[in-house]
Structure 1
Amino acid sequence: MNADAAPRHARHPVGPLRSTYLPRTASALTSAMATYGIPLLVLATTRSAALTGLAFALEWVPRLAAFGWAGSLVDRRGASRVAFLASLGRALALAVGAVLLHLHPAGAGASATVMALAAITGVLTEFSYVASETAGAAAGRRAGARAHRVQAVLFGIDQSATLAGPALAGLLLLTGPARMLAVTTALSLLTALLTLRTPSSPAAPAQEAQTETGAGLLTGLRTIRSLPALGWLVGGLALSNLAGALLQAAGPVIVVNHYGQSTTAVGLVWSAAAAATLLSVTLCRFAIDRCGLWPVGAVCAALASLACFATAHAPDYLSYLVLVAVLMAADGGMTVVLRTLRSRLIPPEKFGSTLSATILILLLPYPVAGVLTALTPPDALGPVTIACAALQAAGLAAAFARLRTDPALRA
């Protein structure tokens, strides 16, 4: 691939630390604080389990709507430009929300503010995520034989942010909603400033832009359909994500209402899960070298299904925290399998569109989980969790049974 034919987001002449790692760190931390902090903010402001679940759905529905053209926009305009605009827009939205909550800390005005923040930050966070993932893939291609090291650093950054973000959001929320939003605003502005250190990409011709915007998602879906191994794995993980998404959406209600803990304890659950995932990813890298992709993925699938079933019967907060950590650690191992398979199979010229389509499928369960949480009484969340665990086990079993002899996972 020559320089003229390469995607515009791949032509950054600067090193990975400045062009990829630092912006990714700031973006991942901001995204983690927003993703986990907004539902906590809704619960703290409204004291309503139904509105907490609805806010979770509102946070994810606009994200899914944005994926139809986010990948093609990044391919055309460049990862750094899209990341800058998304981070700046998120900072402005959070700043306005902080001011409104300071002026109206309770009542209908506060409820409307936090629900609007859930929707707006959801869209902008996904644009930032697609841009960051595309920049990371371009950095990996530039690294050549050391691409796996780049991906390992990026995954470590993401998980470290997930480790710190929820706990930091929970702690800041104890000082007041406006202060939590102010700190998140500052981090989002920092992300925007860091993306300015990378060169912008030239705009695509108008006619080309219109064509790619309309066809980006279809191109990605067709690419997934043409790669059966990727399609089966993505389908199985999508059903698995329904169980994880339900635990994330219902987490504030379960921990605060059922176990009688504080909002900080909710953040600690996901911080512990991120720490377990970091350990799992390290172990899975060595296990894949010795055993291959399929055995590691199958073992992680079994562990995830068993842990999800067990969370519905967790007798206390500590056991719940441990089981969620085991579930997310197993999910992290399957994510390593997916990322490896994705980097092997997806053509570089279609990576942005196919990445968007893949993420769209994997994230469809999240708004469903939010609606389930909103419609389910807190005392009935256990049976719903068991039902989602059954779907998870069935989906993963079907996917890995189909992929048992597939050469893509046996390579």
Structure 2
Amino acid sequence: MQAALLIRFIIARFSAALGDQLLLFAVPLIIYTETKSISLTGLAFFIEWTPRVLSLPIAGTLSDRIGGQYVYLAADIVRAIAAFGAFYLLTVNVNMFVVLSGLMAISAFFYAQSFIALESIVPKLASKAELPKVQSWLQGIEQASLMLGPGIGSFVILYADARYLIPIGATMFLIGYVGMLTIKLPTMPISRGTGKGALALAKQVRRDFVKAATIVRLRPNLLLLTTLSISINLIIGMCMATAAAMATGYFNASKAEFGLQQSFTGGLTLAVLMILPFVVHRINVFWVGIAAYTVICLSSIVIGLTSSFGFYVLAYATIVASGDLFNVYIRSERVLWIPKVHLGKTIGFIVFLNQLTLPLSGIIVSLSINEADTKAMFWMIGVATSGVVVLCFKKLKTTSKILSPQLATTLA
């Protein structure tokens, strides 16, 4: 890949990622500060994540049939138009909750499309030897935007209304669109398909889901691992859904402090990712995963019990960062329990189940009467998930294929 082309690509991707993080920071904050309703905040989270999850199964198909670059460009320009349009509607006093929920639903759907499309674009831009470098850049971009988005947001709201973050995010999407528009990809064959082919594809997707569900159901260890990951994702989803309400509502922190909280979380996550290779080189991944699971459960209990904003921020950031450690364990373990011929469809099915916990967490939060009720949910879920790992620890340890070299040689 030529240096100039790489620079344009990195700038375009970073702009879009930053736009996404600005919206993720601004919208929950605006909804909560203007409604003071934890229920509406949770409902907005549900509306945001449902299309993001449901669009995943069709994202790959769209990229294959239309072309990854076309899908990616469409995702950026549609999100830019939607954000500019939402800001205009807010200025003419259209219902704030309806406008912002609609914006995030559109943004969420096209985020999934751009994320999958990106995976099909990168191999066309870089040679096999350059792929690791480009992928590491992309990972760095995601983490940098995770820190900079809230940081920029907290700076802007010191001098202006949080609503102005919406057109700023839209501008980032527009920059990303223009940047990608200047990149010419090599011509690749595209599967256009027909109506009959689309119907056949839908039937194949259904058969794959049924087959994957059967594989998970008939393997108790795989079912157990899936249950563990779902329970952890529920805690993470609860954290994401309530962050703005808990910080600025229950703990009465300023909007700028909320921004710093999110930036600190991004920084801690980045630090964990940097030390992760050294950790797994010295400690078996099984123990890393169990430790991470335990830390997440304990941090959830801390959130439910603490009255200190500082302890809340630390527990919140620890949950998000420890999720990366747990994911390394769960991904390493479960792949050894899945027949290789069915690996793709089974992993896709499990990821789909895991992602469903995010809109579910939004529904749970929407049932809260106030922030205190939501806060109590954290220690209850933390205790429940702690009980799960205590009850299952012996089975997890004795049957772990990454802990036992003998078991690891057994085909799933």
Q: Deviations over 1:113-138 (max 9, x none)?
A: 122212222212222223235556x5
> Alpha carbons of 1:195 and 1:291: their partners in 2 closer, same or farther (altered >3 Å)?
same
Q: Deviations over 1:57-97 (max 9, x none)?
A: 11111222212312332344343322211111111100101
Which of residues 193, 204, 216 is equivalent to 1:215?
Answer: 204
Q: Does the aligned pair in 2 maintain the 1:101–1:113 contact within 8 Å? A: yes
Which of residues 21, 32, 45 is equivalent to 1:32?
Answer: 21
Structure 1: how far apart are the matches of 2:401 and 2:170?
46
Structure 2: how far apart are the matches of 1:38 and 1:285?
35
SS at 1:312 equivalent: helix
SS at 1:407 equivalent: coil
**Aligned-pair distance for 1:213?**
4.9
Please list, as runs of the form range in 1=range in 2, the aligned pairs for 1:116-265 lying within 5 A after superposition: 116-133=102-119, 135=121, 138=123, 143=128, 151-174=135-158, 175-196=160-181, 197-199=183-185, 201-207=188-194, 208-216=197-205, 219=208, 222=211, 226=215, 233-265=225-257
Q: Which amino acid aligns with 2:105?
A: A
> Alpha carbons of 1:48 and 1:171: their partners in 2 closer, same or farther (altered >3 Å)?
farther
**Aligned-pair distance for 1:48?**
2.6
Structure 2: how far apart are the matches of 1:300 and 1:346?
27
Structure 2: how far apart are the matches of 1:59 and 1:132?
21
Percent identity between the aligned chains?
A: 20
Q: Deviations over 1:247-303 (max 9, x none)?
A: 221122211121111223222222211111111112221111233322222222222
> Alpha carbons of 1:109 and 1:203: their partners in 2 closer, same or farther (altered >3 Å)?
same
**Aligned-pair distance for 1:378?**
1.7
Q: Which residue of 2 aligns with 1:3?
A: none
Q: Does the aligned pair in 1 maintain the 2:42–2:366 contact within 8 Å? A: yes
Structure 1: how far apart are the matches of 2:279 and 2:124?
25
**Aligned-pair distance for 1:325?**
1.5
Q: Does the aligned pair in 2 maintain the 1:101–1:110 contact within 8 Å? A: yes
- Mind listing any 5+ residue stretches in structure 2 that lack a counterpart? none
Q: Deviations over 1:220-251 (max 9, x none)?
A: 67458658677654442221011111122112
Q: Does the aligned pair in 2 maintain the 1:68–1:357 contact within 8 Å? A: no
Which of residues 267, 287, 290 is equivalent to 2:282?
Answer: 290
Q: Does the aligned pair in 2 maintain the 1:14–1:198 contact within 8 Å? A: no
Q: Does the aligned pair in 1 maintain the 2:333–2:401 contact within 8 Å? A: no
Structure 2: how far apart are the matches of 1:130 and 1:403?
35
Q: Which residue of 2 aligns with 1:4?
A: none
Q: Does the aligned pair in 1 maintain the 2:26–2:166 contact within 8 Å? A: no
SS at 1:203 equivalent: coil
Q: Which of structures 1 and 2 has the bigger CA Rg?
A: 2
**Aligned-pair distance for 1:41?**
2.0
Structure 2: how far apart are the matches of 1:44 and 1:161?
24
Q: Which amino acid aligns with 1:365?
A: T
> Alpha carbons of 1:95 and 1:339: their partners in 2 closer, same or farther (altered >3 Å)?
farther
Q: Which residue of 2 aligns with 1:269?
A: 261
Q: Which amino acid aligns with 2:150?
A: P
SS at 2:191 equivalent: coil
Structure 2: how far apart are the matches of 1:312 and 1:238?
20
Q: Does the aligned pair in 1 maintain the 2:86–2:100 contact within 8 Å? A: yes
Q: Does the aligned pair in 2 maintain the 1:20–1:135 contact within 8 Å? A: no
SS at 2:229 equivalent: helix
Identify which range, 89-98 or 158-167, moves more after superposition. Answer: 158-167
Structure 2: how far apart are the matches of 1:134 and 1:234?
27
Identify which range, 82-91 or 387-396, moves more after superposition. Answer: 387-396
- Mind listing any 5+ residue stretches in structure 1 that lack a counterpart? 1-12
TM-score normalised by L of structure 2: 0.81
> Alpha carbons of 1:226 and 1:79: their partners in 2 closer, same or farther (altered >3 Å)?
farther
Structure 1: how far apart are the matches of 2:231 and 2:244?
22
Q: Which amino acid aligns with 1:45?
A: E
Q: Which amino acid aligns with 1:189?
A: L
> Alpha carbons of 1:274 and 1:115: their partners in 2 closer, same or farther (altered >3 Å)?
same
Aligned CA RMSD, in angstroms, stands at: 3.6
TM-score normalised by L of structure 1: 0.81
Structure 2: how far apart are the matches of 1:296 and 1:260?
35
> Alpha carbons of 1:218 and 1:115: their partners in 2 closer, same or farther (altered >3 Å)?
same
1:58 matched to 2:58: no
